[in-house]
Structure 1
């Protein structure tokens, strides 16, 4: 069975929403763990269900990632300081005016004007620049000439190859007998040719593609089909830096998409903090990152009060009074029974 696409909107049925929340939350946590392991990323994920229950995941420590995020925000706030608008406009005006004057003088010198004030060394550099520019122009012009010529040559070679293939096929068809060979295969025997494999897989009915029209061995085609299917990879750190960066970009986008879908479908409040291996912060929040973090801190404080345990002395004293009260009640009950019966 193929997966159905569902509309990304809130699930109204409460039971279905709870089931979807449980499954999608586990999938989201799994994706976060894989991103952290494969790409050496530091992640903190906070999920509040519709009932207000907190579920969190962190590659190191939730508090540590939140503190790093606050420090990152403070540093970027200092870096993003902007001077007053009047100073910016004035400074940009003088800078652009100076740049225009320099570029105008450079263009005139390239055209052979205003060379009197240039030194011998500057004139030599100018000559070298003009020679390099002239050689690049000549090279580009030759490439423009040769490009259509080479394309026509390749097309001619391709047509000659197709003509030779058609001649060989025509010769084979003339050499064959007029009787047609019918190959019957039962359901117990697996298909051994490419076309029957495509027919059984459903490709032959849906597309006009046929392996018999492709001049490749059947074994090679089977290998290509196997390569097209998804492979399971080992969940460990990717050592190649370029591959790790590509994997981080793709998996981070997928993780953010999953978080957005969980928030919309199940009415959950989510905050996701991802630090790349280079230290860059990527975050997502269904409402506001700061708001979700503050709610998490409040949730932790409330649970800390609920889980408060009194000192050992108070616990022992409380158990003593409770046992003493129980003994007195049992004694009264025995006395009542003794006097009346």
Structure 2
């Protein structure tokens, strides 16, 4: 009797599914053993049943084989990442070089160089761009001028205030000197008048005539 071809899909009957799992599991474990013996290969096989039961086979040590597998996967991922990073850097470098080249061409055109193959539309765009640049530069220049003028006005006001304060101090000092000189002159006149005056300081008793006679007798 010829066996029919088994369809690769889930077996709906639970009993048939369990029987098929047991048969094919044993066959898979047997094939793994034969492969490791015949080819001197390091084989590790892990199977979990539908109920979660573990079945495994290892030609040497399951733990060592797993660690070897992890190291190999890590190296492959690192190599792949390095290759991708290098390729990304190359693409980015090429893109930047192209942008720099375009900027150099645009710069030369703004300076009036390399305009031989420039179309009329491009020339108009360059002209408009230059006009915008000139307007921006002039506006910035006027702003700088206004800021400088404002600073100079502030400095002028500060100097004027300082000058007014100094002028007031000088005037106060002059007034103080004048007052001192006037006081000194008055004192000198008082002293001179005191030395030259004939003010009588003696005490006389009697009428004025008697006083005059006594002065002549002296």
Q: Same fold judged by TM-score > 0.5?
A: no
Structure with more helix by fraction: 2
TM-score by length of 1: 0.26
Q: Which has the higher contact order (CA 8 A, sep 6+)?
A: 1
